[in-house]
Amino acid sequence: MTKRILLIDGMALLFRHFYATSVHKNFMMTSQGIPTNGTQGFVRHVLRAVADIQPTHLAICWDMGKSTFRNDMFEGYKQNRPEPPEALVPQFGHVQQISQELGFFNIGLPNYEADDVIGTLATQSAHDTDAHVYVVTGDRDLLQCTADNIHIWLVKKGFSEYLKFDAAAFREHYGLAPKQLIDVKAFMGDSADGYPGVKGIGEKTAIKLIQQYGSVENVISNITSLTAGQQKKINADMDNLICSKRLAEIVCDAPIDTSNIWQQMAFTPDYAHILNVCDQHELRVAKKYILSL
C-alpha cells in the first residue's frame, strides 16, 4: 500500500492566517475572550490539505522555543524578529491543544526548528519507495529537501493555491540540484533569519556561481577565476560565508525516536469528532469551512 505522508509546518500556517485576518482587526474572539483567528485559519488549512492530498499519515511540526543550536553557532540568528502581537501569543498553546484534540499528531524537538523535524521525517520517509511525502509550508528553505518522492508545497494564496516542487520542478526552476540551495543561501544570506551571507552578492549572482562551480567550497577553490569585485566581497566575508552555509542547511538526521512514530502518525479523518471539537472551542468559521469541503 502506498503511503501518503503529509508534514505541515504548524507555525507557518498559524502566523500566515493570523496576519491575513488581523490586518482587518478580525480576531474572531470566543465568548471567553480568546482570539482564534490564526487557529481557525490553521484548522481550515490543514483540513483542506487533507482533502486535497488524502494522506495515510499526518504530522504537524512545531518550533519548540526561540533558541536552537543555530543560536549557538551565530548569536544573531533570528534575533532581529519583533515580538509577536499580543493577540497571537495565547494562540501558540491553544492551536497545539486543538491540533491534538482534532487527532493530528504533533511533534517538535527542543533545540531544533520545525524545519529540521520536517527534513528528518521527510528524508526517512522517502527511503520507502512506496511512500510519497507532501510538505505544506511557507518556508522556501525546505526546497532543499525536495526529491522524486518529496513534494514541497509552498503556500501561495488562500487555503489551496501553492507553488509545488519536486526534484524535477526544482531543477527546471533553478537550474540546480535541491541541495545546492544551501550553497546559494550561504552567499545571499537570509535577512528574515538574520544571517548575513556575503554582502553585495544577491540571489541571481549566487545562483550563477553555484551553477558554474557547484558548491561554496569549489567557488573558494577557484576564487582567482572570479571578477575582482567578487573576490573582494567573498574575501571580506569569508567567515560569514562559511557560517551561513552551516546555518542554511536543514538537519535531516535530527535525534527523533521513530520506533513507533509511523503508528502515531497514521491518520483517518473523523469529521464528526472534528466538528465537535470546533463546537467546543467556538471555531465557527472553521466549522463552516469544513462543512463545505
Q: Is the pLDDT assigned to residue 1 strictly greater than 80? A: no
Question: At a CB cut-off of 8 Å and minimum separation 6, what does 33 contact?
Answer: none
- Predicted TM-score of the model (pTM): 0.96
Q: In angstroms, what is the C-alpha Rg of the chain?
A: 20
pLDDT tens digits, 144-154:
999 999 999 99
Residue closest to 167 by CA, chosen among 139, 145, 183, 141: 145
User: Do the Cβ atoms of 106 and 60 come closer than 8 Å?
Assistant: yes
Backbone angles phi, psi at 52, to 5 degrees: -75, -40
- Phi, psi of 155, rounded to the nearest 5 degrees: -60, 130
> What is the dotted CATH code of the domain comprising 3-173+257-291?
3.40.50.1010
Domain limits, the chain: 3-173+257-291, 178-248
Q: Using one digit for the tens of pLDDT, what is the confidence trace for 208-238?
A: 999 999 999 999 999 999 999 999 999 999 9
Could you report the per-residue pLDDT of 166-205, keeping only the tens digit for each?
A: 999 999 999 999 999 999 999 999 999 999 999 999 999 9
Q: Which CATH class is domain 178-248?
A: mainly alpha
- Asked whether this chain's domains 3-173+257-291 and 178-248 adopt the same fold, the reply is no
Do β-strands 3-9 and 131-137 pair in parallel, antiparallel, or remain unpaired?
A: parallel
- The Cα–Cα gap between 63 and 71 comes to 14
Read off the pLDDT of each residue in 77-85 and give the average, rounded to a whole number: 90
Structure confidence at residue 187 (pLDDT): 98
pLDDT value at residue 65 = 83
